[in-house]
């Protein structure tokens, strides 16, 4: 087994264990929900319990690796070439409302580049896995992006960051503009599943701003291994620390980038 295969199996073990935790807490939170600062930025006991299980698995297998976790922050030696980016519950707001669109997302960056990714949706029991050079799968079967090549025939997905109430750079105008140019734009509320759905061809492309590395590290390598393309909005190289991503089936990449560049100001929609 290659190192990446071993790391993929470790991430899978951690994601599946965390999924059991999320299933156990689902619908049983009652008042165990708080806000982390911004309105709507929720955290629950399930987030913390899921992350604890993931950290236990990683520390058992790869104690020397560094970690960036949504709830615990930076752990270990951050100069290590191996960095695990963990979202123990991507879609916390959905989860808190018992809306079935949430996932565990575990990505491994090597020298800053996503190389391993596992996304697990415990509600639908869908396991997405990928590693550089090893392909992408859903429930152990290979997946590929769609072949849609015209924006007018596409179905897109996006999201809105927690700071959307505080900034004009909030993705509202982009959402309106692209809704008019396509067959529809979905907003699921889980960035990792958005990327997974592009990777398996359920939607054709995804864009969003205000993202953290743990939101997208796993999904980036999944999409790339499924034949998709990832970049900045303007088609320059993707930088995970930027918080912005344009992710497509490849066929729509240029046209979607151009459409984003032509978005009218939000005032035009009011």
Q: Can you say which residues are annotated as belonging to the binding site for Mg(2+)? A: 70, 87, 89-90, 215
Residue 181 · residue 153 · CB < 8 Å: no
How big is the chain by its Cα radius of gyration, in Å? 18
Q: How far is CA 202 from CA 30, 157, 186, in A?
A: 33, 10, 11
Enumerate the known binding-site residues. Answer: 70, 87, 89-90, 215
Question: For residue 153, what is the DSSP state?
Answer: G
Best CA proximity match to 36, nearest among 67, 70, 69: 70
Q: For 43, list phi and psi in degrees, rounded to 5.
A: -140, 145
Q: What is the distance between the alpha carbons of residues 152 and 222, in angstroms, rounded to a whole number?
A: 25
Best CA proximity match to 107, nearest among 132, 125, 126, 124: 132
Structure tokens at 101: 């669109």
Residue 127 · residue 13 · CB < 8 Å: no
Instruction: Count other C-beta atoms under 10 Å from residue 165's C-beta.
Output: 11
Q: What is the distance between the alpha carbons of residues 207 and 196, in angstroms, rounded to a whole number?
A: 13
Residue 117 · residue 193 · CB < 8 Å: no
């Amino acid at each position: 087994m290659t190192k990446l295969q071993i790391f993929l199996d470790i991430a899978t073990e951690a994601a599946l264990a965390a999924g059991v935790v999320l299933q156990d807490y689902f619908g049983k939170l009652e008042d165990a929900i708080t806000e982390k600062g911004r309105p709507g930025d929720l955290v629950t006991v399930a987030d913390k319990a899921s992350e604890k299980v993931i950290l236990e698995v990683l520390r058992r297998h790869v104690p020397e690796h560094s970690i960036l976790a949504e709830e615990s922050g930076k752990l270990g030696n951050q100069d290590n070439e191996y960095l695990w980016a963990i979202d123990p519950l991507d879609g916390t707001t959905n989860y808190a409302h018992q809306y079935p669109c949430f996932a565990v997302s575990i990505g491994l960056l090597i020298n800053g580049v996503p190389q391993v990714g596992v996304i697990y949706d415990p509600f639908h029991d869908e396991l997405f896995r990928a590693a550089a050079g090893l392909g992408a799968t859903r429930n152990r079967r290979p997946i590929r992006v769609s072949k849609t090549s015209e924006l007018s025939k596409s179905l897109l997905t996006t999201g809105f960051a927690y700071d959307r109430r505080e900034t004009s750079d909030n993705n509202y105008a982009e959402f309106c503009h692209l809704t008019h140019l396509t067959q529809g734009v979905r907003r699921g509320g889980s960035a990792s599943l958005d990327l997974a759905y592009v990777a398996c061809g359920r939607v054709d492309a995804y864009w969003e701003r205000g993202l953290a590395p743990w939101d997208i590290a796993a999904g980036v390598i999944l999409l790339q291994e499924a034949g998709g393309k990832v970049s900045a909005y303007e088609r320059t190289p993707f930088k995970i620390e930027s918080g912005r991503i344009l992710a497509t089936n490849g066929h729509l990449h240029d046209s979607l980038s151009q459409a984003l560049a032509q978005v009218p100001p939000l005032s035009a929609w009011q």
